[in-house]
Amino acid sequence: MKTQQAHPSRVVEEPAVLPMPEAPRPVQPRLGRSLFAGRGWLRLRIATDVVLLLMGVAAAVLGAPAEHESLRGGWLVWAFPPLVLLLMALSGMYRDTIQVRLAEGVARVLAATSLAAVTLIAGAALLEPSSEPAPLLARAWVFGSLYLVVGRLLLARGRRRARATRLVAQPTLIVGAGLIGARVERRLSRQPELGLLPVGYLDSDPPPDDMVPDREMPVLGAPSDLRRVVHETRAQHLVLGFSTAPDHLLLPLVRESEALGLQVSLVPRLFESVNVRVALDHLGGLPLFGLHTIDPKGWQFTVKYALDRVLSALLITLLAPVLASCALAVRLSSPGPILYRQRRIGRDGREFEMLKFRSMRERETRSDAPDNLLTLAVDTGPGGVEGRDRRTRVGALLRQTSLDELPQLFNVLRGEMSLIGPRPERPEFVDLFGERIERYQDRHRVKSGITGWAQVHGLRGKTSLRDRIEWDNYYIENWSLWLDLKILLRTFLVVFRRSE
């Protein structure tokens, strides 16, 4: 029997099935697994929301002023919890998702409680014009919203931690063992908080290993072997990436996955152009995605850059004592200039001098990176301490707390940088990485930033360059003022944790 080889000159008679890894042993039931996965997670969220809403109404009723004594025991305020639960269910807040978005969850909770309170007040005005439920319902709205937000944040944090420690993880199969499938595997492996644990691939014609160097999990069989592979790996989730199988053969695979109880996710074609603004329409039974992109040279980014200059001027004024203290400390720490200037590449490939507080002895900062850095691994970015560590004590502290980056506020004020955006790189590395890394030059569509989406996800210094580029381009294509605000908040948290 001939086994499959991914070579165009050979006739493929039967797909190769690589040896199956040993099936995982049955997991003993544990409280964490039962609470943070499957139906247990749904029951926990509903039960918690019910208790918190009832506590909010009880606090509103028991704490009502004496002039509202007649309202205590009224039925209307007790209709608030079930109405909020109904609105939350209708908005999909009890639907299980891969990512846990805390900020988005808070906004949806506030929307549900606000709509419920307004609806009850309007209903009371129609049914009982003589009643005055607004003060009591307003108190129930305040307490109920506060309890729900805090409770859901704690639950989400608990589940995120359970996923990050692999206490809760769904064994996941990936259809398509090519570059996109390998990217899915790498992302799931490096982000355990998503709760998906890759166990292998399904592909009838997988590319050879040397064409997909990032692929670590084995190819367990063809898509037609789904039932057997699910039985042997206990898979619970299926991700459809790009495979050599025709699309019309994947539909039965989805149907079979649903029959086996698997959750199914899909990486869409042209995924680089799909952002959070995508709109779904239908032409009869044919789904049609409308792609709405952001123009980096449009009015939205014009507003962003204007706000950048205003905020940078305000921050320079507020942080003037900190800037002066850092400058004095650098001056006293060792001979040399206070500021370190380095050529970087910004928007549209323009070169500028990025400013930092000098953190190393003068002789270390007279030249750019050592020549041997040009031999960096294909997927490793430069950064951190390059060559021998010649930081001063003050410089080490400035780097640890990121205070050495504060002079870049003047770059923002001059219009050379933005508060938030992809980090700028040196000219020699821009040319090198532009040849090595796909879509590297796309990050120069916007101004470089002091902090960015990649940095708040830990991608700084000598980390994966491809991951960094992926996050940078995601930021550009999904940009919003709300996303900028989230990055600023996460930056403060990251800096605070690093400085502890």
pLDDT tens-digit map of 201-214: 998 888 888 888 88
Neighbouring residues of 170: CB distance < 8 A, sequence distance ≥ 6: 37, 195, 196, 197, 235, 236, 237, 263
Write out pLDDT tens, residues 298-312. Answer: 888 999 999 999 999
- CA distances for 89 relative to 59, 155, 201, 358, angstroms: 24, 17, 35, 55
Query: From CA 379, how far away is CA 314, in angstroms rounded?
Result: 38
- E-state strands within 286-425: 286-290, 339-345, 351-357, 418-420
Condensed to tens digits (0 to 9), the pLDDT of residues 47-65 reads 999 999 999 999 988 876 6
Domain with CATH 3.40.50.20 in the chain: 170-267
Distance CA 414, CA 439 (A): 28
Query: What tokens appear for 461 in the block?
Result: 């210094």
Would you say 44 and 156 are in contact if contact means Cβ atoms under 8 Å apart? no
pLDDT at 291: 79
pLDDT of 231 reads 92
**pLDDT for res 13:** 42
Q: Quote the pLDDT of residue 413.
A: 95
* Entry pTM: 0.73
Residues 338-345, mean pLDDT to the nearest whole number: 92
Element (H, E) at 118: helix 102-127
Residues 6+ apart with CB under 8 A from 191: none
- Output the six-digit token pair for 348: 């549209």
Mean pLDDT of 94-118: 83
Q: Tokens 């644990």 label which residue?
A: 197
Show the tokens assigned to 301. 């980014």
Strands, E assignment, 312-453: 339-345, 351-357, 418-420, 449-451
Q: Please give the distance of CA 124 from its chain centroid, rounded to a whole number.
A: 43
Question: Which of these, 414, 491, 429, 420, lies nearest to 465 by C-alpha position?
Answer: 429
Give me the CATH topology for the region 170-267: Rossmann fold (3.40.50)
Beta carbons of 387 and 306 less than 8 angstroms apart: no
For residues 420 and 305, what is the distance between their CA atoms, to the nearest angstrom? 10
Q: How confident is the model at residue 15 (pLDDT cuts 50, 70, 90)?
A: very low
The answer to which of 12-16, 122-126, 238-242, 263-267 has the lowest mean pLDDT is 12-16
- The CB density around residue 3, as the number of other CB atoms within 10 Å, is 11
- Using an 8 Å Cβ cutoff, are 406 and 326 in contact? yes
Is residue 92 within a helix (H) or strand (E), and if so which, with residue range?
A: none
pLDDT, residue 385, reads 61
pLDDT of residue 61: 83
In this predicted structure, what is the pLDDT of residue 87?
Answer: 93
422 versus 92: the higher-pLDDT residue is 422
- Can you give the pLDDT at residue 369? 47
Instruction: Report the phi/psi class of residue 195: left, alpha or beta, with left for phi > 0 and alpha for psi in -120 to 50.
Output: left
CA dist 381 and 452 (Å) reads 15
Average pLDDT for 126-141: 79
Q: How much is the pLDDT for 363?
A: 60
Predicted pLDDT at 372? 47
393-418 CB burial, b ≥16 within 10 A, e <16: ebbebbbeebbbbbbbbbbbbeebbb
Q: pLDDT tens, 215-254?
A: 899 999 888 899 999 999 999 999 998 777 777 778 888 8
- Residue 332 CA, distance from chain mean position: 41
